[in-house]
Structure 1
């Protein structure tokens, strides 16, 4: 069953269990995630004038560095804007070191019509309103009506509740990994996600089962086996 809904904390635990079980490590999951996002950009925006990749200092930003590297290798005109440096020795720092695109300060962000934004700032773990440079970038992207591809969840949307924390990107596509989170399905976050792409990055069903999820998306596979399907000769007087 793949209709489990995981909280941000449960998803982080799924990452940890996957890494502990091997053979995939953290950077392997990050590379897979970034590749999934880059594939969406290349498939849906082949004529983009430029792609602006926004990277935060955490794992979401690490995914963004992978996206920028792959797009650069694909001859896409890429600018990378960073809100801070990843922690030394982290998977995000390794992803940044592998990226050939030189980061620019997010405080200097500027964009042009015809370009695309990849939002890899904060993802589902954000717990406080966007402010400062991040909030300004949201305003710029909104004013220019730039298509946004969000990594995991549009920055500014709570992964726990779907509430908008101050302001948020309105994404054209949101690429999330392994399972959906409450913020993808609950309003108003649901409307901010655009088309949701669920990517397999190597977190197996057995790992998800270890979490013993208690929240599920209400789709037919959840209840169809228990649904009384009427036979051909069924009528209202037949009990």
Structure 2
């Protein structure tokens, strides 16, 4: 796709277009969830939808011209939210839409934990690991797996365990299954292939790490696990 667009636009314009589309996508999702929360949509579920949608921003990488420096503009949506979360985490009022949409309890300081860590990971993946398989796997596990695990754990989690924080076997299985699915989709969209054995092994290790992780810190520990695994495997 990026090659056909490149026949019409210069690399810089092509990458600016891709960045604009990514910005529209991310901010539209947040805007929709803000609206739904005002209408009574569950705040915690809204947080997870934003989590999954934001983590899927890398699908726009396929549009970028990889030969031009402006490919790094892909992190602009994440970078803007990194700055916004820092500002809102310190200064937002209780009725701020980001506080309502992206926190569990309505405490603005929560924005400085999981949500901020998540955007920092996006910044790193979109620069140092742009278009690398480890980024696709990391964001699949972190976005889809970690995004849906609490939802399924809360609804279906009957078999609880408590190592660092209370979790459930059902939630951990959801992390594994949806993480593999999300990562596989990213691999197929961006590279057209997926090393399924490698992906599944990495997902199993990441699932164990997630089970041992404190709240919010898993947003760092999951991609770190993937980076180490891809270096060793």
TM range (shorter): 0.3 to 0.5
More helix by share: 2
TM-score (norm: length of structure 2): 0.32
More strand by share: 1
Whichever of the two has the greater Rg, that structure is 1
TM-score (norm: length of structure 1): 0.31
